[in-house]
Amino acid sequence: MVGSAGKTFNVTGWKVGWICGPAPLVTAVRTAKQFLTYVNAGPFQPAVAAGLRLPDAFFAGIARDLEFRRDLLVRGLRDAGLPVISPEATYFATVDVRGVQPDGDGLAFCRELPARAGVVAVPAGVFYTPEHAALGRHLVRFAFCKSDAVLAEAVARLLNPGEETP
């Protein structure tokens, strides 16, 4: 299991993480990490340690809330005609834009989306190496780590692009 304070506690920028697993795997990760950074987020580590001691109910609540928000966004994306890859362990839902963007250009889709619907997304192609970028050209990533109200408004905008939302 690999975890991140930025993701778990919504503290973007706190680059403090952890790994739990078999000793050889943890040793390998620790060895690689030592060559990647010298020191990282020292002052934040005690706060993260305190957070990790929170009761299990806290973490179950985070999971329940994210699952609800994921399902809300995934339903809305599907209703908007976007086939969705519904995630199980992240707060990003990936869609295939070819049904609404016939040329499959995810970058163009993302560039037009704010003006068309007032919503933003990230083209998955930016996460691929240049030689493999075509593999993700038609994929776009939406985040559901937002408030329920923001997600509901985003879904309404995706379903009715160009219309004013209340």
Domain ranges of the chain: 2-54, 58-159
Place 35 in a pLDDT band, splitting at 50, 70 and 90. Answer: confident
**Residues 4-22, mean pLDDT to the nearest whole number:** 84
Q: Percent of the chain beyond pLDDT 90?
A: 59
Structure tokens at 131: 């030689």
At residue 7, the pLDDT reads: 80
CB 161 within 8 A of CB 113: no
**Residues 118-122, mean pLDDT to the nearest whole number:** 95
Lowest-confidence range among 90-94, 111-115, 131-135, 159-163? 159-163
Mean pLDDT (the chain) is 89
CATH architecture of 58-159: Alpha-Beta Complex (3.90)
CB 141 within 8 A of CB 110: no
